[in-house]
């Protein structure tokens, strides 16, 4: 997995990408955020604003679950973020708040 496409919760609008740097066979690496919403109004969305803060911080830590279907992303002083995929590479992304996963959008994988 080289990149993850981030979309709105209903999957109708593109928000940006998570670009992953994960050595083959490793379960830990780094990632960067590229946030380019389809619609300028999305810049006002609190979820997009948090993605922009992550982008501005530079690299975030990336941890992949043993089954490789769930990623946890840690950025300095922000809620942890999760991305969970089904076997076809489609999934959800969101934030971990008070120990619970709070969905914020749809996600899908891209490989190059």
| Own/partner pairs, 95-104, CB within 8 angstroms, 24+ separation | 95/50, 96/72, 103/9, 104/9, 104/47
Can you give the residue ranges of every domain in the chain? 3-110
| Cβ-based neighbour number of residue 38 at 10 Å | 13
pLDDT in tens, 35-86: 999 999 999 999 999 999 999 999 999 999 988 889 999 999 999 999 999 9
pTM above 0.85, yes or no: yes
Q: In Å, how far are 27, 57, 68, 78 from 22, measured between CA atoms? A: 7, 19, 12, 21
């Amino acid at each position: 997995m080289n990149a993850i496409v981030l979309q709105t919760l209903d999957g109708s609008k593109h928000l940006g990408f998570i670009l992953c740097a994960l050595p083959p066979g490793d379960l830990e690496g780094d990632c960067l955020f590229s946030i380019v919403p389809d619609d300028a109004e999305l810049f006002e969305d609190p979820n997009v604003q948090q993605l922009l803060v992550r982008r501005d911080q530079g690299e975030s830590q990336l941890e992949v679950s043993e089954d490789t279907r769930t990623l946890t992303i840690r950025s300095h002083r922000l809620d942890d973020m999760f991305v969970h995929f089904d076997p076809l590479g489609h999934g959800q992304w969101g934030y971990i708040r008070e120990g619970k996963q709070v969905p914020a959008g749809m996600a899908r994988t891209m490989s190059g």
